[in-house]
Amino acid sequence: MSKFRPVRASSPSRGLLYQPHFVAATERAEVLAFLLDLHPIWEQRFSLHNPPPVGQSQRWLLRPVYWLGNWQFACLNYYHPPKGVHNRCVAAEAYPPALARLVKRIENLTRERIPAADLPPQWELNTCLVNYYGCRIVDGKKIDVARVGEHRDFEPGPVGSISFGERALIQFVDSKRRDQPSQVVTQQWLEDCSLQVFAGERWKNQLFHRVQRVEKKQGVLFPIHQSDFETRRINLTFRYVPKAHILPLNQFPKPLQSDVAPYVQQLGKHSRFWQKQEPAGQ
């Protein structure tokens, strides 16, 4: 048995909430119908105008992704205030109605349970990263990549996360000393249709979090539009980016537009929104 106890929604002052049955069956069906109609893409971490640091090489992300609200292409270095706020967030597709209703519920719950001091002015969950967890298929062999290393989400304010499919183990860890292993502070199994919200100085800004593993016990497989990936969990992470930092692609510097042009062209094959985004020189 684990020695770490999950933190439940009954302790809002701690800034970590969990509700195991947040999404109703009808809502699940609506949202999954939308998600399974998307065509997620593979991204590389670096690009011509953002080359790998010395000693590192180009690499693919571990899993296919899709973004709503704004798209933070990996090669644009993601959103990282206070310095990394400009030319990071490309305006993207809006939430569909079923998802917008869920987001509003998350926002209302968060305002009820999270101290006002932890909510930035104009806070709203206006961006969503859709992560697909499972196995990458290489030469017919399945390579399990259903994990995420320890990291922080740098967008200001609370973060909300909804899970579909096999349950996943998320851990919050203390990584103060680089010469020692990270210490697990708490962990939680994220069930199908569950919601987790984390906020505040401790859970959001001090500790790191990671997805340690995703189970295979239920035999869940989602038929996503990726022939080289087998998906057993879909996770939606909702965050806040100030509107002033979200720009249409045509307002980005031309070199950065050219870096993301191949992704935009790929997205445009299946999305009317992205069809209308024309990088410079295309």
CATH number, domain with residue 266: 2.60.120.590
State pLDDT tens for residues 56-87: 999 999 999 999 999 999 999 999 999 999 99
Domain span including residue 199: 12-275
Q: Where are the beta strands (DSSP E) in the chain?
A: 16-19, 65-68, 70-71, 89-91, 127-138, 141-144, 148-151, 159-165, 168-174, 183-190, 195-198, 208-214, 229-239, 246-247
State pLDDT tens for residues 243-266: 999 999 999 999 999 999 999 999
Domain for residue 230, yes or no?
yes
Per the structure, how many domains does the chain have? Answer: 1
C-alpha to C-alpha distance for 83 and 1, rounded to whole angstroms:
43
pTM surpassing 0.75?
Answer: yes
Domain for residue 5, yes or no?
no
Domain for residue 205, yes or no?
yes
Domain for residue 54, yes or no?
yes
Q: What angle do CA 107, 130, 153 make, to 5 degrees?
A: 65
pLDDT above 90 covers what percent of the chain?
Answer: 90
Domain for residue 44, yes or no?
yes
Domain for residue 280, yes or no?
no
Domain for residue 88, yes or no?
yes
pLDDT at 282: 55
Domain for residue 3, yes or no?
no
